Amino acid sequence: MLRVGLPAVALAAMLGAIFAMQPRAMSYFGLTVLLNFTLPAIFAAMAQMAVIAVGDIDLGIGPFISLVNCIAATLLATHPLLGWLSFAALIAAYAAMGALIHLRRLPSIVVTLGASFVWLGLALLVLPSPGGAPPAWLPALLAWRPPLAPLPLLASVLLAALGEFLLMHTSYGVVLRGIGGNPRAIARAGWSLLAGRAALYALAGACGIVAGLALTGLNTAGDATVGTQYTLISIAAVIVGGGEFVGGIVTPIGTVVGAWIMLLAGSLLSFLNISTDWQLSVQGGILIVVLGLRALNRWSAA
Amino acid sequence: MTDEPGAPFVQLRGISKSFGAVRALAGVDLAVAPGRMVSVVGHNGAGKSTLMQILAGTLAPDSGAIRVAGHEVGHGYGVRRASALGVRCVFQELSLCPNLSSEENARVVHPHLAGPGWRRRARRLIGDALAAIFPGHGIDTRRPVGELAIGQRQMVETARAFTETDRPVRLVILDEPTASLDATEADQLLRYTAEARAHGIAVVFISHRLPEILGHADEIVVMRDGQVAGKEEAGRLDEARLVEMMGVVRGAEPAHGPGAERARGAIRVAQAARPDAPLPVTLRAGEVVGLAGLAGHGQRALLQAVFDAAGHRRAALRVAGSVAYVSGDRRTEGIFPLWSVGLNTTIGNLRRLARLGFLSPAREKAEAEAWRTRLDIRTPDIGQPIVSLSGGNQQKVLVARAFAAEADIILFDDPLRGVDVGTKRELYQQVRRAAEAGRAFLWYTTENAELVNCDRVYVFYRGTITDEIDHAALTEERVIRASFGTGQIVAF
Amino acid sequence: MNGRIRTWLDARPWIWSFAAALLVWLATALVAEGRGILATLAVALQFATFYAIVGIGQMLAISAGPGNIDLSIPGVMTFAGYVAMGLMNGSDAGLAAGLAAGVAVGLAAGAFNVGLIQGLRIPPMIGTLASGFVFQSMAIAYSRTTHAAPAPALVSFSAARLLGVPVIALIFIILTALVALALNRTVFGRSVLAIGQNIRAARLAGLAVRRTLASVYVLSGLLAAIAGILLSAYSGGAALDMGADYLLMSIAVVVLGGTSIAGGQASPAGLWGAATLLDVVVTMLNVMRVGAGVRYVVTGLIIIGVLALAKGRDQAA
């Protein structure tokens, strides 16, 4: 409970501070503008969470999102079938990456870093210089104003609920998390570790695709480097939201909250008139502070 | 064999298993009938855990026949087959996922707990089992198991073994299930085994608490040195007889070791006495002091404490002098697998071998060669990779490393386990010689026969020392009695 | 006979990268029909030097055992480059101050990482990843306030050639040889390799584990700073994205060069073989007029491929 409770309180505090400084943000429109870019962030964070759940890390999710963005701004508009096929192929590639990491017992950090070069290269091949145009339905979808709440808020709640359900409430989700907790016990109970890892990586790939599509819809253009920032955001989101690097301890709801916190940290900076140059410092700093506090807490409890 | 009505549920015949040069089991027969509880007891190295692993399917025997539920199970016998046949086990290294709750851990082993409503069913399953075995347990089955105390974790794992969905439970192996439980909980578990037996479940119960076994088992099997030393109905045995059966009957064996009095030097290790630990450890230069008792009862903790305390001032444990550590678990704590014999030998002594921060290959080689000769390490060349050496010779290298470091106190963490007899004898002499030269040894060994090399022996039971035995008064029976807490000093 | 060759090869893991580099260079020569192949080799060596400098630090970290890695290298490079250039301000008068400041940044970064890893018990991978972003951010902020330009003396030094070979390549080849010597013949080097093979055994053998690991991260920070300073000088100034490729490349030259990702065994010579290989591959692709995209894809696939295959060998052994 405390795992998700603390980040939720922190988020509330941040929102409170923002609203206090900028009351106009509290309107429907204001919230949409403030929170628009949480859409790609929450899906990027979910992708990262899927991988961290089994004790791995994905350092290539940022460039992967850029690749999806480039495909969406080119192929998806001109040759939609090819575009969707390439998305399917990318999900398969992610699953294959997970399988390779399991079968060869490779460190995920190096493999995903190598993959990040592949994604970047493919993005440059698809879209050598920023530009392109997504199919009309994509920005239209992102501009949709649902009646109850702004789109980002609605999407966040739905994704958090879906993630929570799939990973924490289904019987197979238990097995997947178990792989992160005690893989030998899971294997001895008869489950396939290979299938589990591949499934989680495929899920990560799918979330990465949605993140890229959302980003494209918001930017209405393609750029091979636009997604790089989401690597740090996604990792920090999972950790700040209550997850741990080892042990299969992840919180889908907390991850979504963490993504909001990471994104809003940037907005808070601009409201406080601090240059956005410091954004990376703040995001990295939040991660360090959270981890440091956790370590101190563990040390004093011992 | 035994003459109870009905065929045994599981029958092991002529089971043998060796790990390299070490004979863990030599022709063991074991049969457990439904509704009966068999308890297996024995000292270190008796072969209990190896036998249980073979029974559970996690290890394959080298030879022998296994019959489960009427089927002759051959090479296909593994954990999944065993589970399908109704065999469950609870070993000492828990196999729960710490990030999952009790109910989720139950789900992991029961594939049938799937689909809508699975959590409710899992909760009921584990909840009922816990309530049946440990009434009033107070465990929240929704909390991640990692947040529970070790005793509660053991309760959950034990309860889980008795749960059944599509396949009935026929045999439950419990390996030291009461080790982390308090008296009430242990009692509850033992009483439950009676209930389980009434339902026709067979139980194999391993415990070092002799009163537990004598009070609740139907049959007791005593193992010793990889063989069955005796089998008897529990009602016809008592503690003294058990201890007798577990020990080696030694005739007029000449005592190796120090005949004449050796000059005792300065105090190297002094532990402060505490009310709950009336026998503190002391060690003087030139002494060889043994740490005995069942494995995992605090001996290693003492060695680690002495290692950590060297060079610091600690009130509870004074260590005067430099220390060197020789581990018996060479794979995880001893050897540097990518290196040669020579490099593995000199790594403990680098600072002394270096001049102006640089190591001279000639000096290193000379040093390593000297130790190779002194300890007779069998390798064609000290440049050979250390993994090419036999286990015994690898241990010799680790001992050489500690000797080369010229430490005042040498801590032996069961370094000769699984080493061949010839190597052992050679190393015993080396220890003797080093002690005569003034070095102090603190020697934890799981093999009682080695204790004859010691001037004094402390026996551990559940974290405290229950007996201090002088060389002259050393008998295996006395060691075993103290190992099971039935010795002279009972501290609880 | 086959076994003896295999043992000889296994003892020299760096051979593969040099052999591959040679092959690719010959292929490039073929494709370019022999034009300017020596010049391209010199340029390749120039850029390989920068990879090798950070590779040394990364190699020490990775050799120190599983879990040890320095992901802050790009950020440290960038920040040190900016600070040094900023203080030099385009004149030789500021050379000493700039160098000192840049080096200080590297040492401080290393110390900061040690604080995170040993003080706050943050796993090195995440600690250095986060700190790297912090340094990058500091570089971004600093870049606004300065007109960073290298001292002319440093510029000419960074591009200088001796008999056609870049001077900095020569210097750092010698440094690599010294590191190789240190790994084999000093207490520090031996300790790193021991810790990398079996940290518990290292502790029980009486080695100064914490101090050794701390030194490794400080060294890596220092080397990253030096690389950043030299690269900035060579490029005529620091740029915010100059460290971008170095995260992967610093690891790639270590792994492709034959250092085991599991730790305990380092291959310093291989750094140069791998750096040259990667550079020559890029050169070949450029000669073939393929775009940056293909370049990145090929590089990434080579790294994953070699890793996947190499691990297979380790497991078979």
**CA neighbor of A293 nearest in space, from A235, A230, A242, A237:** A242
CATH number of residue C298's parent domain: 1.10.3470
Residues with Cβ < 8 Å from B235, sequence gap 6 or more? Answer: none
Average pLDDT of span B227-246:
86
Tokens of A15: 């929102």
When CB atoms are compared, the residue of B97, B111, B119 closest to A182 is: B97
Please state which of the ranges B127-136, C36-45, C296-305 shows the lowest mean pLDDT: C36-45
Using the Cβ of C307 and the Cβ atoms of chain A, whether some distance falls under 8 Å is answered with yes
Residues B66, B72: Cα–Cα separation, whole Å: 6
Strands B10-19 and B171-175: unpaired
**CA neighbor of C134 nearest in space, from A239, A282, A293, A270:** A282
Q: Which residues of A219-244 are buried (b: 16+ CB within 10 A; e: fewer)?
A: bebbbbbbbbbbbbbbbbbbbbbbbb
Considering only CB atoms, which chain A residues are within 8 Å of B95?
182, 184-185, 188
Quick one: pLDDT at residue A1? 60
pLDDT tens digits along C50-74: 999 999 999 999 999 888 999 999 9
Radius of gyration of chain C (CA): 20
**CA neighbor of C114 nearest in space, from C219, C265, C235:** C219
Would C7 be classed as within a structural domain?
no
| Sheet bearing B63-68, strands edge to edge | B22-32, B10-19, B63-68, B71-73
Which chain C residue has the Cα nearest residue A102?
C308
CB pairs under 8 A between A and B: 57
Please state which of the ranges B279-288, C97-106, C203-212 shows the lowest mean pLDDT: B279-288
Would A83 be classed as within a structural domain?
yes
> In chain A, helix, strand, coil percent, each to 5?
75, 0, 25
Nearest-10 Cα torsion for B203, B207, B209, B212: 0
**CA neighbor of C272 nearest in space, from C63, C59, C71:** C59
Would C26 be classed as within a structural domain?
yes
H or E element in which residue B40 lies: strand B37-42
Tokens of B274: 């505490």
Residues B305, B426: Cα–Cα separation, whole Å: 29
Quick one: pLDDT at residue A190? 85
Contact C187 B333 (CB under 8 A): no
Rounded to a whole number of angstroms, the distance from the CA of B339 to the nearest CA of chain C is 9
Quick one: pLDDT at residue A86? 96
Would A90 be classed as within a structural domain?
yes
Would C1 be classed as within a structural domain?
no
List residues bridging with B40 in a β-sheet.
B206, B221
Coil, strand, or helix at residue B77?
A: coil
Rounded to a whole number of angstroms, the distance from the CA of C121 to the nearest CA of chain A is 6
Using the Cβ of B80 and the Cβ atoms of chain A, whether some distance falls under 8 Å is answered with yes
Residues B167, C57: Cα–Cα separation, whole Å: 57
Residue type, B79: V
Would A34 be classed as within a structural domain?
no
Quick one: pLDDT at residue B262? 55
Quick one: pLDDT at residue B46? 81
**CA neighbor of B173 nearest in space, from B56, B95, B69:** B56
Contact A125 C294 (CB under 8 A): yes
Residues A169, A294: Cα–Cα separation, whole Å: 26
Do residues C104 and C226 lie in contact, with contact meaning Cβ atoms separated by under 8 Å?
no
Considering only CB atoms, which chain A residues are within 8 Å of B105?
178
Considering only CB atoms, which chain C residues are within 8 Å of B400?
none
Quick one: pLDDT at residue B171? 94
Q: Please provide residue B273's backbone torsions phi and psi, each rounded to the nearest 5 degrees.
A: -75, 145
Using the Cβ of C299 and the Cβ atoms of chain A, whether some distance falls under 8 Å is answered with yes
Tokens of C208: 């100064």
Considering only CB atoms, which chain C residues are within 8 Å of A282?
137
Rounded to a whole number of angstroms, the distance from the CA of A114 to the nearest CA of chain B is 27
Residues B326, B308: Cα–Cα separation, whole Å: 14
Contact A57 C125 (CB under 8 A): yes
Q: Does residue B47 have a pLDDT over 70?
A: yes
Rounded to a whole number of angstroms, the distance from the CA of B242 to the nearest CA of chain C is 38
Q: Please provide residue C33's backbone torsions phi and psi, each rounded to the nearest 5 degrees.
A: 55, 40
Tokens of A5: 């409770």
Using the Cβ of C289 and the Cβ atoms of chain A, whether some distance falls under 8 Å is answered with no
Label residue B375 by pLDDT band (50, 70, 90): confident
Quick one: pLDDT at residue A145? 87
Which chain B residue has the Cα nearest residue A188?
B79
Would C2 be classed as within a structural domain?
no
Contact C295 A121 (CB under 8 A): yes
Would C6 be classed as within a structural domain?
no
Residue type, C274: A
Cβ neighbours, 10 Å, residue C293: 18
Label residue C317 by pLDDT band (50, 70, 90): very low
Q: Please provide residue C24's backbone torsions phi and psi, each rounded to the nearest 5 degrees.
A: -65, -40
Which chain A residue has the Cα nearest residue B143?
A1
Quick one: pLDDT at residue A61? 97
Average pLDDT of span B418-423:
76
Measured at the CA of C56, the angle between CA C51 and CA C61, to 5 degrees, comes to: 120
Contact C197 B325 (CB under 8 A): no
Distance (Å) of CA A106 to CA A98, A187, A287, C196, C308: 10, 19, 26, 17, 7
Would A300 be classed as within a structural domain?
no
**CA neighbor of A246 nearest in space, from A238, A254, A256, A255:** A238
Coil, strand, or helix at residue B192?
A: helix
Contact B354 C194 (CB under 8 A): no
pLDDT tens digits along B256-276: 555 445 557 788 888 877 777
Tokens of C116: 């995170």
Chain-centroid distance, C-alpha C114? 19
Do residues A163 and A255 lie in contact, with contact meaning Cβ atoms separated by under 8 Å?
yes
Label residue B491 by pLDDT band (50, 70, 90): very low
Average pLDDT of span C146-153:
83
Measured at the CA of A116, the angle between CA A111 and CA A118, to 5 degrees, comes to: 95
**CA neighbor of B415 nearest in space, from B298, B299, B297, B284:** B299
**CA neighbor of C306 nearest in space, from B139, B453, A114:** A114
Please state which of the ranges A66-75, B215-224, B306-315, B457-466 shows the lowest mean pLDDT: B306-315
> In chain C, helix, strand, coil percent, each to 5?
80, 0, 20
Tokens of B374: 């002194």
Residues C205, B155: Cα–Cα separation, whole Å: 39
Contact A104 C255 (CB under 8 A): no
- Averaged pLDDT of chain B: 86
Q: Does residue C248 have a pLDDT over 80?
A: yes
Do residues A267 and A25 lie in contact, with contact meaning Cβ atoms separated by under 8 Å?
no
Would A204 be classed as within a structural domain?
yes
Quick one: pLDDT at residue B263? 57
Residue type, B135: P
**CA neighbor of A206 nearest in space, from A53, A68, A80, A54:** A68
Residues with Cβ < 8 Å from A78, sequence gap 6 or more? Answer: none
Q: Which residues of A154-186 are buried (b: 16+ CB within 10 A; e: fewer)?
A: ebbeebbeebbeebbebbebbbbbbbbbbbebb
Please state which of the ranges B340-349, B442-451, B483-492, C198-207 shows the lowest mean pLDDT: B483-492
Distance (Å) of CA C165 to CA C40, C228, C235: 11, 21, 18
Quick one: pLDDT at residue C50? 94
Residues C233, A199: Cα–Cα separation, whole Å: 47
Coil, strand, or helix at residue B16?
A: strand
- Structural domain span for residue A217: 49-270
Quick one: pLDDT at residue B21? 67
Quick one: pLDDT at residue B487? 54
Quick one: pLDDT at residue A276? 77
Residues C219, C57: Cα–Cα separation, whole Å: 6
Radius of gyration of chain A (CA): 19
Mutate to test the interface with C, among A52, A103, A281 (most CBs of C within 10 A): A281
- Structural domain span for residue C37: 13-316
What total of structural domains would you count in chain A? 1
Residue type, A249: I
pLDDT means per 10 residues, chain A with 302 residues, are: 78 86 80 87 97 95 96 92 95 97 91 95 93 91 87 93 94 94 90 95 97 94 91 94 91 94 85 81 88 82 66
pLDDT tens digits along A132-153: 999 999 999 988 888 888 899 9
